[in-house]
Chains A and B, each alone.
Chain A
Amino acid sequence: MRVTQVSVFLENRPGRLLYLLNILAEANVNLVAHNIVDASDFGIVHMLVDNPQRAVEAVRGAGLTCSTITVLAVEVPNEPGAFVERVLKPLAGAGINIEYSYAYSGHNDARIVLKVDDLDGGERSLAAGTA
Chain B
Amino acid sequence: MIWNPERETMPRGELEALQIELLRQQLANVYERVPFYRQVLRSRGLRPENVRSLDDLRILPFTRKSDFRDNYPFGLLAVERRQLARIHASSGTTGKPTVVAYSRKDLETWREVCARNLAAGGVTADDTIQIAMGYGLFTGALGWHYGAETLGANVLPVSSGNTRRQIMLMQDLEPTVFCCTPSYAIYVAEQAEEMGVDLHATKLRVGIHGAEPWSEEMRREIQARLGVDPIDTYGLSEIMGPGVSGECTEHCGLHINEDHFLVEIVDPQTAEPLPYGQRGELVITTLTKEALPVIRYRTGDITRLDPTPCACGRALGRMERVSGRTDDMLIVRGVNVFPSQIESVLLQVEGVQPHYLILVDRERGAMDDLEIWVEVSEDIFTDDVGRLQKLQRAAEFEINELLGIGARVKLVEPGRIERSTGKAKRVIDRRDVYGGS
A residues within 8 Å of B by Cβ? Answer: 5, 7, 9-11, 16, 37, 39, 41-42, 44, 46, 63-67, 69, 99, 115
Q: Flag if A39 contacts B416 (CB, 8 Å).
A: no
CB-CB under 8 A from A99, the residues of chain B are: 384
Complex partner residue of B414 from A7, A37, A46, A63, CB under 8 angstroms: A63
Q: Flag if A11 contacts B388 (CB, 8 Å).
A: no
Whether A67 contacts B378 in the complex (CB less than 8 A), given A5-B383, A7-B383, A44-B383, comes out as: yes
Q: Flag if A44 contacts B385 (CB, 8 Å).
A: yes
Q: Name the distance in Å between A112's Cβ and chain B's nearest Cβ.
A: 17
Q: Flag if B376 contacts A9 (CB, 8 Å).
A: yes
Where chain B touches its partner, the secondary structure class is loop
Give bound CA distance, A42 to B374, whole Å.
12
Q: Flag if A64 contacts B413 (CB, 8 Å).
A: yes
Q: Flag if B385 contacts A64 (CB, 8 Å).
A: no
Given known contacts A11-B416, A63-B414, what 20 new A-B pairs fall within 8 Å (CB)?
A: A5-B383, A7-B381, A7-B383, A9-B376, A9-B388, A9-B411, A9-B413, A10-B413, A11-B412, A41-B412, A42-B411, A46-B383, A63-B415, A64-B413, A65-B413, A65-B414, A66-B378, A67-B383, A69-B383, A99-B384
Q: Name the distance in Å between A58's Cβ and chain B's nearest Cβ.
A: 15
Give bound CA distance, A64 to B385, whole Å.
16
CB-CB under 8 A from A42, the residues of chain B are: 376, 388, 411-412
CB-CB under 8 A from B225, the residues of chain A are: none
Whether A65 contacts B383 in the complex (CB less than 8 A), given A9-B376, A44-B388, comes out as: no
CB-CB under 8 A from B400, the residues of chain A are: none
Interface residues as binary, B371-398 with A (CB distance below 8 Å gives 1, 0 otherwise): 0000011100111110011000000000
CB-CB under 8 A from A7, the residues of chain B are: 381, 383
User: Would you list 16 pairs from A and B whose C-beta atoms are within 8 A, ordered by A residue?
Assistant: A9-B376, A9-B381, A9-B413, A37-B385, A41-B410, A42-B388, A42-B412, A44-B388, A63-B414, A63-B415, A64-B413, A64-B414, A65-B381, A66-B381, A67-B378, A99-B384
Q: Name the distance in Å between B384's Cβ and chain A's nearest Cβ.
A: 7
Give bound CA distance, A115 to B415, whole Å.
29
Smallest CB-CB separation from A62: which chain B residue? Answer: B415
CB-CB under 8 A from A41, the residues of chain B are: 410-412
Give bound CA distance, A69 to B416, whole Å.
25
Give bound CA distance, A9 to B387, whole Å.
13
Give bound CA distance, A80 to B396, whole Å.
45
Give bound CA distance, A11 to B417, whole Å.
13
Q: Name the distance in Å between B372's Cβ and chain A's nearest Cβ.
A: 12
Q: Name the distance in Å between A46's Cβ and chain B's nearest Cβ.
A: 7
Q: Flag if B389 contacts A39 (CB, 8 Å).
A: yes
The 9 closest A-B pairs by CB, nearest first: A7-B383, A37-B385, A65-B381, A9-B376, A63-B415, A42-B411, A69-B383, A41-B410, A44-B385
Interface residues as binary, B55-70 with A (CB distance below 8 Å gives 1, 0 otherwise): 0000000000000000
Which among B383, B413, B415 has the greatest number of chain A C-beta atoms within 10 A? B383
CB-CB under 8 A from B411, the residues of chain A are: 9, 11, 41-42
Complex partner residue of B377 from A37, A44, A65, CB under 8 angstroms: A65
Interface residues as binary, B274-316 with A (CB distance below 8 Å gives 1, 0 otherwise): 0000000000000000000000000000000000000000000
